[in-house]
Amino acid sequence: MEHKLTIYNTLTRTKQIFKPLNEPYVGMYVCGPTVYGDGHLGHARPAITFDILYRFLTHLGYKVRYVRNITDVGHLEHDADEGEDKIAKKARLEQKEPMEVVQYYLNRYHSAMERLGVLPPSIEPHASGHIIEQIDFVKKILDAGYAYESEGSIYFDVKKYNNDHRYGKLSGRNIEDLLETTRELDGQSEKHCALDFALWKKAQPEHIMRWPSPWSDGFPGWHMECSAMGTKYLGEEFDIHGGGMDLIFPHHECEIAQSTAALGKETVHYWMHNNMITINGQKMGKSLGNFITLDEFFTGSHKLLTQAYAPMTIRFFILQAHYRSTVDFSNEALIAAEKGFARLCESYARLQKLTPSKETSMEMKNYRQLCEEAMLDDLNTPIVISHLYDATRIINTVADGKATISEADLKELKEVFDLYLIDILGMRVEENTGAANDAYKGAVDLLLEIRKQAKTNKDWATSDKIRDELARLGFKVKDTKDGFEWSL
């Protein structure tokens, strides 16, 4: 590729020029959700961030194999090696099969992602469908001497690994500090060291999600699935591994240790992490009462929300920030995003109706190049959006009859909006421009035609009534030299 995409690599803490192992093919693995509840904002951000990367890499000409997993086993209550499996717990409480719980929430997750404009990945493997691969991976780590068996469970030997490699390189932690802040083992533990983590857990009698293994009837540790499935579908070495920043430690740190221990080399070339979302400045959490699901955003049914927010408003809001910055959700900020996106949609609709003249009478920047440069610079979507806003000045000035645009410039502007706003940022404009709903558009047009007629007939009562009622419903009507224009 002649393009130079630079991305920030969490592992080296530098921006690096992206060079895939096997051009034009790119392997990309992103940690997907644990499906035991409805998707929330914390799920939306990585999905949207890596959707943008997927779309942009594809635009640059790469053939991307995008793997996003589904965690349906092994994610325990305390995110450590203890507690009930989250999915099994939900199944017990709802008197369902665990896979019934998984399917129910997975269907809902897919529907929310579709509404957010997130393209489906190339492969969506389930942890529970890859138990054999995970057992094989554990065997490799045991054979390499970096794991031990204890009471039917297998644990990763962090100290031994750290002697030969460095545990903590991704998160920047070191083992001495970690040992100081970790609770001492009480002597009852199966582990040799508090930092060791489970690769395979022996199931307690009441544990229903269990599979046979050489060591016990049990289930894999949470971190194992991504090492096993990533290398299965993308090879022992692959290009990009992504996820939320909250996964850097311990999840991704443990994945690096597992893969290095089993394969004797680094699996991932570029680690990418999106920053987190806060709500009114606070971390999201069930106990804080600010845990808002995506469906609650779409319907406005949570008590913290003053209105419903369209999925495209949420997507636009997330893209207005660089993926490595924090994003703070508030009603004010969301309403501003809603308005901002509506303005872009309005200009997009006006752009489709512009008629070209002999020449362009305004300064027209090379928006295609500016947008591309912003995306090549570590996916700087807020800058892309600012260039699109800048271009709307031209569209609106021409539409208002105060400037002209040449045929070539008009074609270029249309292409830039279609490419960047729709294909790369993945925004659906039709919901805002009304193109998807011709009947509704037609009805408003008809009302305004009647109003125009009424004005010609000096029937001011009818004309005012239509204008006032439309205004009350939120329509903005503008009289122009050719008739009228309206927006919602």
Question: Site residues (CB under 5 A) for Zn ion?
Answer: 31, 226
Which one, 218 or 230, has the nearer CB to Zn ion? 230
Find out whether 241 and 230 touch, Cβ atoms under 8 Å.
yes
Which residue is associated with the tokens 């031990």? 148
The least CB distance from residue 25 to Zn ion, in Å, is: 22
Q: Give the C-alpha distances (Å, rounded to integers) separating 277 from 69, 227, 287, 337, 476.
A: 21, 26, 16, 15, 33
Q: Which residue has the tokens 């609106």?
A: 396
Closer residue to Zn ion (CB): 112 or 127: 127
Question: Shortest gap between Cβ of 207 and Zn ion (angstroms)?
Answer: 22
For the bound state, the minimum distance from the C-beta of residue 135 to Zn ion, rounded and expressed in Å, comes to 18
Pick between residue 125 and residue 434 the one whose CB is nearest to Zn ion: 125
Residue 359 identity (one-letter amino acid): E
Instruction: Please say which residue, 32 or 426, places its beta carbon nearer to Zn ion.
Output: 32
Length of the chain: 488
DSSP letters, 274-321, are E--EEETTEE--GGGT---BHHHHHHT-STT-SS---HHHHHHHHHTS
Amino acid letter, residue 99: M
What is the sign of the dihedral through the CA atoms of 424, 426, 429 and 432? negative
31/292 with CB nearer Zn ion = 31
Closest to Zn ion by CB, 201 or 451:
201
Q: What does DSSP say about strands 238-244 and 25-30: parallel, antiparallel, or unpaired?
A: parallel
Beta bridge partners of 377: 6
Q: Which residues of 327-363 are buried (b: 16+ CB within 10 A; e: fewer)?
A: bebeeeebeebbebbbebbbbbbbbeebeeeeebeee
Q: How far is the CB of 50 from Zn ion (least distance, A)?
A: 13
CB 41 within 8 A of CB 294: yes
Closest contact distance (angstroms) between CB of 148 and Zn ion is 23
- The terminus-to-terminus CA distance of the chain in angstroms comes to 43
For residue 364, the minimal CB distance to Zn ion (Å) is 45
**Greatest distance between any 2 Cα atoms in the chain:** 93
Other beta carbons within 10 angstroms of residue 420's beta carbon come to: 26
CA–CA distances in Å: residue 369 to residues 3, 58, 345, 384, 416: 12, 17, 21, 10, 9
Give, for 85, the enclosing helix (H) or strand (E).
none
Q: Which is nearer to Zn ion, 31 or 454 (CB)?
A: 31
In angstroms, what is the minimal distance from the CB of 239 to Zn ion?
16
- By beta-carbon proximity to Zn ion, the closer residue of 142 and 226 is 226
- Mind giving me the DSSP string for 316-380? HHHHTS-TTS-EEE-HHHHHHHHHHHHHHHHHHHHHHH---BSS--S----HHHHHHHHHHBT--
Closest contact distance (angstroms) between CB of 124 and Zn ion is 13
Shortest CB 365 distance to Zn ion, Å: 41
226 vs 399 by CB, closer to Zn ion? 226
- For tokens 């999925």, the residue is 311
Q: Given CA atoms 157, 160, 164, 165 in this order, what sign does their dihedral have?
A: positive
> In whole angstroms, how close is the CB of 251 to Zn ion at the nearest point?
5
Cβ contact 108:254 at 8 Å: no
Contact by Cβ (8 Å): 92, 36: no
Closer residue to Zn ion in complex, CB, 127/342: 127
Q: Which is nearer to Zn ion, 259 or 360 (CB)?
A: 259
- When the beta carbons of 31 and 141 are compared against Zn ion, the nearer one is 31
Q: How far is the CB of 226 from Zn ion (least distance, A)?
A: 3
Q: To the nearest whole angstrom, how small is the minimum distance from the Cβ of residue 85 to Zn ion?
A: 16
CB nearer to Zn ion: give 112 or 226. 226
Please report how close the Cβ of residue 382 comes to Zn ion at its closest, in angstroms. 27
